[in-house]
Structure 1
Amino acid sequence: MTGHPALAIDIGGTKLAAAIVHPDGRIAAHDRTATPSPPPERPKGGGESSPGGVGGRPPTMNRPPERPEGAEAIWSALVALVDKVFADAGAPSLAGVGVGCGGPMTWPAAEVSPINIPAWRGFPLRERLRARYPGLPVRVHNDAVCVAIGEHWRGAGQGHDNVLGMVVSTGVGGGLILGGHLIDGGTGNAGHIGHVIVDPDGPPCGCGGRGCLEAVARGPGLAAWAREQGWRGDEDDPTGADLAEDARAGHPVAAAAMRRAGRALGLAIASATHLCDLDVVTVGGGVSQAGDLLFTPLTETFNTHARMDFAQRVRIVPTALGQTSGLVGAAALVFRASRYWGPSDKQ
């Protein structure tokens, strides 16, 4: 490992972020921008394709096809952001490029098809970045996996060998560290706790299933459920942040929505803890910023269902690195490859 910093990128459904990160995890410069949302072009005279499995080429996830320029608009916004951050840091020599991106994706090739970025379907993200940074290692993993890595390397999970890192935001994802190393699984999707079933009769999920943790606890899903119960029904597109604000002010439906999310998270974490014998669970993302509104019902539900003695030792805490967890974790794909990057193709 050289003393040069890495370029770290975090790609999500609502925001793009980039940073220059030193080998010790310190951030030299970083910035973010909204993820462009080009208008979809509806298919003519046909239905939408059905979701498939997680491995191999990602499914279309029940989304209409997008105009090709939609994919390029997102790529152009990402390039502009990266160039700005690179210039802000003084255009340093780079050790490599680490990226966290919403999934699913083929892995490690990183043709990405994020559920919450419908314009990107099979987008060759790693190939594009390799062309921009020839000769440098370019490593792409799931954005929630990068949050888990960041928290394990420099955050709330530091010093522990068995950590589940979670993101609760536009979607719900996770990454799993066991025995001090990232667990990738057969297709790079291990730790994807957002699609643990918490209510078999619950709402449909973007993956094609029903009652997934993501369908219940993600921010847009919470807001939609609350509106069905009469919360802000006369407004256009109230957000999860609006919901948390109203819950804090005592609105009964908003408070019920936050309890519903906390309960779903507690159930999923109890199951994951029994399965993996975890030391620490870190929870980040926009919805987690609701604080006790979310963590109190989460903890109560976890304590009700995590009855094995070994499960009761786990600590469930907010992420220590906040909104930079994913960027720090993406940099660790470059700086700590032996621990966090499994493929034999080290480039």
Structure 2
Amino acid sequence: MHTDLVAALDIGGTKIAGALVDGQGRILVRAQRPTPAREDGDTVMRAVEQVLGELTGSPLWGRATAVGIGSAGPVDRSAGTVSPVNVPGWRDYPLVGRVRAAAGDLPVELIGDGVAITAAEHWQGAARGHDNALCMVVSTGVGGGLVLGGRLHAGPTGNAGHIGHISVDLDGDLCPCGSHGCVERIASGPNIARRALENGWRPGPDGDTSAAAVAAAARTGDPVAVASFERAAQALAAGIAATATLVEIDIAVIGGGVGKAGDVLFAPLRKALSAYATLSFVRHLTVAPAQMGTDAGLVGAAAAALARRTDAAAAGV
């Protein structure tokens, strides 16, 4: 058995998680810090260095051969920089160089968080065994990634598969990204809740106005809540069908908080997909909930680092 390990970092607006991961995807050592997202860039980097410091201090660190990073985006894999929307102190921040320095000059692979979750689902989760897959994270935003021909397809900058910003409503609302009618503007959790409230849904005594509360109301048959999830499902179906038509995926995996809504989302999604995915080569597309849970970002970052190491070995580097 290969005894080498890779280090993985999962960097988001709330937490910075790190792990040492073996070739079977098992997490052997963990470290975590809250993200000081409102602080300056170097303060955020210090939290990353503290997480790495815990990993490098482990007796297992000597077996680490590469570092994989899954980061909130946008990321630029080709430049080694990140500019996470929810970490304003990092703009074109040279994360790869800083991590390499802190990790004893090990090779570093950077991908976006949606691509990392895709890598995890393909390696260990719902997309396992599928050579062509789209994986989506539907929560506060909508992200995603692609597996094509059995390999993670991150694209030159590491953002390929970012389905949240496909426009599915030409005359739709202005999205914060600058486009109109994006999948994210319709299907993200906050937008599901916003639309339900605008159309007359009212929260219960606890005052919870989250998408999870709207999902609970939809389960009891509240027509406004049901309609808001149906609209989200329609947007997701249009984006999935467009992707399938372009690159011939055979499964779409949906994770994130909204993905946990169950049949409230998946029943109208499957129905809408049959209306959008009409061509013979996309008609057999399946939709499944994600399986990897909260460790997906770490496992996916590790998968990317392992793939890089395998590619380098094959190239004789």
- TM-score norm. by structure 1 comes to 0.80
Select between 138-147 and 24-33 the one with higher mean Cα deviation. Answer: 24-33
- Structure 1 residues 78, 225: CA separation in 2 closer, same or farther (over 3 Å shift)? farther
- 1:144-195 C-alpha deviation (Å, 9 max, x unpaired): 1111111112222222211111111222111111111222334433212111
What's the CA shift for 1:32? 5.3
What's the CA shift for 1:247? 3.0
Secondary structure class of the residue paired with 1:316: strand
- Structure 1 residues 339, 275: CA separation in 2 closer, same or farther (over 3 Å shift)? farther
What's the CA shift for 1:2? 5.5
CA separation in 2, counterparts of 1:295 and 1:34? 33
Contact kept in structure 1, 2:99 and 2:108, CA below 8 Å: yes
Task: Determine the structure 2 residue equivalent to 1:218.
Answer: 188
Contact kept in structure 2, 1:165 and 1:176, CA below 8 Å: yes
Task: Determine the structure 1 residue equivalent to 2:4.
Answer: 4
Residue 22 (str. 1) matches residue 19 (str. 2): no
For 1:56-135, what aligned pairs fall within 5 Å after superposition? 69-83=39-53, 92-93=61-62, 94-135=64-105
Number of residue pairs aligned between Structure 1 and Structure 2: 312
Consecutive unaligned residues of structure 1, counting only runs of 5 or more, are 39-68
Residue 185 (str. 1) matches residue 155 (str. 2): yes
CA separation in 2, counterparts of 1:253 and 1:15? 34
Contact kept in structure 2, 1:20 and 1:86, CA below 8 Å: no
Question: Over the residues paired in the alignment, what is the CA RMSD in angstroms?
Answer: 2.8
Select between 111-120 and 160-169 the one with higher mean Cα deviation. Answer: 111-120
1:195 to 140, 165, 169: 165
- Structure 1 residues 135, 75: CA separation in 2 closer, same or farther (over 3 Å shift)? closer
Secondary structure class of the residue paired with 2:115: helix
Task: Determine the structure 2 residue equivalent to 1:316.
Answer: 287
CA separation in 1, counterparts of 2:225 and 2:12? 25
- 1:41-98 C-alpha deviation (Å, 9 max, x unpaired): xxxxxxxxxxxxxxxxxxxxxxxxxxxx4334433444444545666x6553222211
Residue 289 (str. 1) matches residue 260 (str. 2): yes
Percent identity reads 43
- 1:239-270 C-alpha deviation (Å, 9 max, x unpaired): 33333333334443333222221111111111
- Structure 1 residues 84, 297: CA separation in 2 closer, same or farther (over 3 Å shift)? farther
Letter in 1 for 2:229: M
Task: Determine the structure 1 residue equivalent to 2:218.
Answer: 247
Residue 267 (str. 1) matches residue 243 (str. 2): no
CA separation in 1, counterparts of 2:202 and 2:283? 39
- TM-score norm. by structure 2 comes to 0.86
CA separation in 1, counterparts of 2:150 and 2:252? 14
Letter in 1 for 2:285: V
Select between 100-109 and 190-199 the one with higher mean Cα deviation. Answer: 100-109
Contact kept in structure 2, 1:333 and 1:340, CA below 8 Å: no
Letter in 1 for 2:23: P
CA separation in 2, counterparts of 1:193 and 1:178? 15
Consecutive unaligned residues of structure 2, counting only runs of 5 or more, are none
Residue 299 (str. 1) matches residue 270 (str. 2): yes
Select between 133-142 and 331-340 the one with higher mean Cα deviation. Answer: 331-340
Select between 6-15 and 132-141 the one with higher mean Cα deviation. Answer: 6-15
Letter in 1 for 2:66: G
Letter in 1 for 2:282: A
Select between 141-150 and 114-123 the one with higher mean Cα deviation. Answer: 114-123
CA separation in 2, counterparts of 1:24 and 1:335? 10
Task: Determine the structure 2 residue equivalent to 1:209.
Answer: 179
Secondary structure class of the residue paired with 2:65: coil
Letter in 2 for 1:74: V
